[in-house]
Amino acid sequence: MRNEKKAGSGGQPRRQYDENYKRHAVDLTLRGDRTIVQVAQELGVNETMLYDWRRKFAPRPSGNLAVPQSLEEATKEIARLRGELVRMQERETVLKKSLGILSETPESGMPGLKS
């Protein structure tokens, strides 16, 4: 058994992938509609390489996100998030109305400004 390698002895050159390609591949794995193995096969890359890219480029949850430990905690968290969603929707409505008011022309509701 020989350990020496001959220059140009039939192996294909290693393919180089840029960071955008790697990030796009990771995004495909995070969608959830296909397994990592399926994405790797579609892209023609080794699945272990794709796992490495995921470890490097996938978004990580921040440390302040606590995973609920019980059904009761999860239920409370859902209720809190629903309340926050309602507040954000109300805030969005107010901002849209404010934008509509601010984008009106001056002569359409400001009496006494005519010269």
The whole-number pLDDT of residue 85 equals: 96
Alpha helices in 58-104 (DSSP H): 71-102
What sign does the dihedral 40-43-48-52 (CA atoms) show?
A: negative
Res 13 pLDDT > 90: no
The whole-number pLDDT of residue 65 equals: 64
The whole-number pLDDT of residue 1 equals: 44
Tell whether pTM > 0.75: no
Find out whether 46 and 52 touch, Cβ atoms under 8 Å: no
Identity (one letter) of the amino acid at 69? Q
Confidence class of residue 9 from pLDDT cuts 50, 70 and 90? low
pLDDT tens sequence across 86-110: 999 999 999 998 888 888 776 655 5
The token pair at 49 is 């390489």
Please give the residue that has the higher pLDDT: either 93 or 3: 93
Q: Residue 37: in which H helix or E strand, if any?
A: helix 36-43
pLDDT tens sequence across 22-81: 989 998 888 888 888 999 999 999 999 999 998 888 877 665 566 777 889 889 999 999
Phi, psi of 7 (to 5 degrees): -70, 125
Residues belonging to the chain: 115
Domain ranges of the chain: 19-57, 70-103
The CA-atom distances, in angstroms, between 86 and each of 16, 55, 83, 108 are 47, 35, 5, 33
